[in-house]
Each structure stands twice: as C-alpha cells, then as structure tokens.
Amino acid sequence: MPTQTANKKIRLLLALRAAGITDTRVLAAIESVPRDTFVPEELKPQAWEDTALPIGCGQTISQPLVVATMTAALEPTDRDKVLEVGTGCGYQAAVLARLVRRVYTIERHKPLLQAAESRLETLGVRNVTAICGDGMAGWPAQAPFDKIIVTAAAHGEPPPVLLEQLKVGGHLVIPVGGQGEQVLRRYTKESAEGAFAVKGLLPVRFVPLLPDVAGD
C-alpha cells in the first residue's frame, strides 16, 4: 500500500477512536476493508477521509464514523445472520461480513447492486448474499434475523415488517426522520409480542428509504 494511503488510514482510525469508537473488532474491520475500492475513481484520493461520498444513482457511501457507530451498535457476533437494507456500494456489507456469519443485503437500484456484487467478489467476500428489491418488505424467506441494519432514512418509524423479522434480543439500527433532521436509533426487541427498547445514537444525514425497485 502506498505510504500516503497508509497515513490517511491511520489518521481515520485515530479520528474514529477520538469520536468514541472503542470496539477494537469494529476498528479492525474498518482498517481491513479497502474503502477506496468502493468509491468512483475520481474520489479515491478522498476514500479514507471521514466523509460521505457520492456513489452514483444519487446515492452516497456513508461517513466512516456513521458506519462504525452503526456496526458497533449492532453488537455483531460471529454467529449472527444480518439483514442490511440499502446495499449501495457494498461497503457497509463488507465491513459487517468480517464480523458476522452471513449478511443478506437488499438494494433497490440494480446498477448499484451489480457493482457492489462485483466488488465483493473481487475482494473475496463470500458471506454476503445480495438481491435487487424493496428492502422495506424485508427478506421473508431468510427471516428471522439476529440483527437488521437500514442504511437509508425512514420517515417516522421503522417499517413494521422489519421489526417483525427481528429475533427477540436482536437489534435493528436505522436512521429516522425527514431531510436534514434525522437521528440514528437502535431498536432492541424485548419480547415476541413486540416490546422494544429504543436508544438514540447520533444525529445523521441519510438518503431517504424509498418504496419499490428503482426504474433504472
């Protein structure tokens, strides 16, 4: 790896620690996934900066601090089966794939999904299964999930179907709110009847969670 990239990477990891990310497994996962592989050619010099970047189809790869916060909030274990809604470029899925047994991820833009799948294949990531679809419906054939992560913002509450597809004791991490005023929340399922503990984590800015498959 060129020295410059190594320095940028170290700087990012220090910034994440300083911002309160203490989970060493999460930090190691961020360190080992080459974020530059997931961004367009012209943005590669910025790949190790702590910022969101455009990835095409009007979508963005999340800021590393947000990826780290969401990943840590899931309390991932190597036995977990995880659902991700919003594959985007596949970066968050690749980070999770290092920490859990299997990731099922859904993206509504087919071109983004195809590019993500080919990156994951090139990187030799074998425990991610990706489909094009509407993640608001979850993935009934694979449910229930130990953990669920939604990387696009729900307007009010999380889609009820996703809460249903979560195992008791599991976490669902999701940004909630309208444009400009969103907060990251973690819902922990406390009973099969649907009691949830809710924790606010961080103010964030995500693209909206939209219904149906995109027409591109």
The catalytic residue positions are 62
Q: Which of 69, 71, 92, 165 binds ligand SAH (CB under 6 A)?
A: 92
Indicate whether 91 belongs to the interface with ligand SAH (CB under 6 A): yes
Question: Could you give the 3-state DSSP secondary structure of residue 177?
Answer: strand
Q: What is the tally of helices (H) and strands (E) in the chain?
A: 6, 9
Instruction: Give the nearest residue (CB) to ligand SAH.
Output: 88
Task: Name residue 106's amino acid.
Answer: I
Indicate whether 138 belongs to the interface with ligand SAH (CB under 6 A): no
Residue 93 and residue 120 in contact, taking contact as beta carbons nearer than 8 Å:
yes
Give the other-Cβ count within 10 Å of 196's Cβ. Answer: 15
The residue range among 26-34, 58-66, 172-180, 182-190 that interacts with ligand SAH, by the rule CB under 6 A, is 58-66
Indicate whether 112 belongs to the interface with ligand SAH (CB under 6 A): yes
Residue 57 and residue 216 in contact, taking contact as beta carbons nearer than 8 Å:
yes
The residue range among 19-27, 131-139, 163-171, 181-189 that interacts with ligand SAH, by the rule CB under 6 A, is 131-139
Supply the minimum distance, in Å, between the C-beta of residue 136 and ligand SAH: 4
Q: Of the candidates 120, 121, 90, 119, which has an alpha carbon nearest to the alpha carbon of residue 105?
A: 90
Binding site for ligand SAH (CB under 6 A): 59-62, 85-86, 88-89, 91-92, 106-109, 112, 134-136, 151-152, 207, 209-211
